[in-house]
Structure 1
Amino acid sequence: MFSNFRTSVFALLIGLTFPGNQATAQNVSSDSSKMNVYFISGLGADKRVFAKLKLDDHFSVHHIEWIKPEKKETIKHYAGRLIAQMDTTKPFQLVGLSFGGVVASEMSDIIHPEQIILISSTPTGIPVSKGYQGLIKFLLLSPFAAPILKSTNKIVYRYFGANTPELKSLLKDILHDTDSKFLKWALKRMSSWDRKTKPENIYHIHGTNDQLIPIKLVNPDIKIEGAGHLMVYAQADQISEILNRQLKR
């Protein structure tokens, strides 16, 4: 049962892991001559998954830090609170990875980025039946839910596309740093996320071998052949080239 539970939940997880520390609002300082680009991670406590990207010096890169959710908070409301970490008084762009892409899509209703780039994500809700939503909520009440979700095995590695020792080590560290309460909250919200329309000015990059968000469920602008959910790290050179080209537009 636990194996089936873990597999089912990770199919909804779409790379969703979070830190335990709460970030505070911060003033964004950057070179005024450069375009601000805000990266929103979906995998882990910090910018580790973006570590291998090589971006041109034309951009001023900032990494949004996750904060603790309020009780019964929606994804949209949560996304609105993250905006305090951004300077929206000048043009900027968003890059959202996995769950970060979901958050970026919700941000677009509040602020107006020049462009949103999604990586291994989805701009709209993936249909989940009411019965399955109820099952997820019930199972997440189990005291065993968090330890199971935060553990690593062949199933977890396969869903995330962690097929090398380096990727397995990265994923293991990421899951270890996950805040259990945040994870449960986010899973509940994602199972009922029903956004119907794509944001304007969106560009979507997706791997053809993504097991967490199968490519048949999305309609990306560019497909990375054979790439899995962790392609931003595993195929960093290719993703960097696409990002540099697209961000300049």
Structure 2
Amino acid sequence: MLKKLAAIALFLVSFAAFAQKEVVYLIPGQGADARLYKNIHLDSIYEVRNIEYFTPEKGWDMQEFAHQLAKQIDTTQAFSIVGVSLGGMLATEMNDFLHPRKVILISSAKSRKELPFRYRFQRVIPIHEIVPGAVIKASAKILQPIVEPDRGKDAKTFKAMLRNKDPKFMKRTVKMILEWDRTEFDQSIVHIQGDLDKTIPARNVAFDYLVEDGSHMMVLTRGALISDLLNQILTETSE
């Protein structure tokens, strides 16, 4: 009897492990939150979890922030990571120590070399050090309509996400981006970029997929297309 119960228990454990879904973690951009992914729909074989930002400690760099955010990731089961903009940079860092099945970047950069010249310029002349966080947040509100050509498709969400941002978060993450020291990246990272991205122009990055008429926030404004791409990439077997 005990042997039968043990066999049944072993079967149930094995079945549960087999039936366990792969988790796909979504990391938003600097001025965004989980609402950025509201139009993304992954296949039912995946479980979706959002990485929640918090205000990093003063002095943290990209690597430290990535390590702290990674505490939200359960590494005991299969998982992949999708990151937009700043989220993609953080996903690139996480790839080094978490080794997910797949890392997919959208509207992002895999190293400081892929950031536009204005970012590298501010690294040399650190204007951001003397600009208050409230000013950085206000500037983002002003620049958003300029750098996001299709912002009007869901202006309410854009405004709401940015409105909720802590000025300290904005200032400290700007510093992280400008002082990011990564020069190399894992070639297995998959990169999706839009040809109308004015924040990180496509000409700056080595992309795998170029989305026609895709802006920096296309994950929100072109949700159906990006969902199809993500499902395609996630189901592809790694070489």
How much does 1:124 deviate? Answer: 0.7
Q: Equivalent residue for 1:40? A: 27
Residue of structure 1 aligned with 2:78, choices 87, 91, 116:
91
- After TM superposition, the score normalised by the length of structure 2 is 0.83
1:202-240 per-residue CA deviation (whole Å, 9 max, x = no partner) reads 100000000100111111101001111111111111111
Question: What amino acid maps onto 1:221 in structure 2?
Answer: D
Q: Secondary structure at the match of 1:151?
A: helix
Residue of structure 2 aligned with 1:149, choices 125, 132, 139:
139
The whole-number CA distance in structure 1 between the counterparts of 2:171 and 2:81 is: 25
Q: Secondary structure at the match of 1:219?
A: coil
- Residue 31 of structure 1 contacts residue 60 of structure 1 at CA under 8 Å; is this kept in 2? no
Q: Secondary structure at the match of 1:72?
A: coil
Q: Secondary structure at the match of 2:97?
A: coil
- Which segment drifts farther, 194-203 or 104-113? 194-203
- Greater helix fraction, Structure 1 or Structure 2: 2
Does 2:126 align with 1:134? yes
Q: Equivalent residue for 1:9? A: none
Question: What amino acid maps onto 1:198 in structure 2?
Answer: F
How much does 1:85 deviate? Answer: 0.8
Residue of structure 1 aligned with 2:183, choices 196, 200, 207:
196
Q: Equivalent residue for 2:146? A: 158
> Which residues in structure 2 correspond to 1:12-91 (within 5 Å)?
33-44=20-31, 46-91=33-78
Question: What amino acid maps onto 1:60 in structure 2?
Answer: E
Question: Which structure is larger by alpha-carbon Rg, 1 or 2?
Answer: 2
Q: Equivalent residue for 2:101? A: 114
Question: What amino acid maps onto 2:145 in structure 1?
Answer: Y
- Which segment drifts farther, 200-209 or 45-54? 45-54
- Residue 147 of structure 2 contacts residue 198 of structure 2 at CA under 8 Å; is this kept in 1? yes
1:88-121 per-residue CA deviation (whole Å, 9 max, x = no partner) reads 1222100001110010011112110111000111
Aligned length: 215
Residue of structure 1 aligned with 2:209, choices 222, 242, 248:
222
Uncovered stretches (5+) of structure 2, i.e. residues with no partner: 1-16
Uncovered stretches (5+) of structure 1, i.e. residues with no partner: 1-29
- Residue 54 of structure 2 contacts residue 169 of structure 2 at CA under 8 Å; is this kept in 1? no
The whole-number CA distance in structure 1 between the counterparts of 2:75 and 2:104 is: 17
Q: Secondary structure at the match of 1:52?
A: coil
Residue of structure 1 aligned with 2:221, choices 234, 240, 243:
234
- Residue 150 of structure 1 contacts residue 176 of structure 1 at CA under 8 Å; is this kept in 2? no
Using a 3 Å threshold, how does the CA distance of structure 1 residues 48 and 240 change in structure 2: closer, same or farther? same
Using a 3 Å threshold, how does the CA distance of structure 1 residues 170 and 133 change in structure 2: closer, same or farther? farther
1:37-88 per-residue CA deviation (whole Å, 9 max, x = no partner) reads 1111115453111101121101011101112212211110111011111111
- Which segment drifts farther, 59-68 or 194-203? 194-203
Q: Secondary structure at the match of 2:126?
A: helix
Using a 3 Å threshold, how does the CA distance of structure 1 residues 217 and 74 change in structure 2: closer, same or farther? same
How much does 1:248 deviate? Answer: 0.9
Q: Secondary structure at the match of 1:69?
A: coil
Using a 3 Å threshold, how does the CA distance of structure 1 residues 226 and 33 change in structure 2: closer, same or farther? same
- Which segment drifts farther, 44-53 or 232-241? 44-53
4+ aligned runs moved over 6 Å, structure 1: none
- After TM superposition, the score normalised by the length of structure 1 is 0.79
Using a 3 Å threshold, how does the CA distance of structure 1 residues 248 and 191 change in structure 2: closer, same or farther? same
The whole-number CA distance in structure 2 between the counterparts of 1:212 and 1:202 is: 20
Identical amino acids, percent of aligned pairs: 32
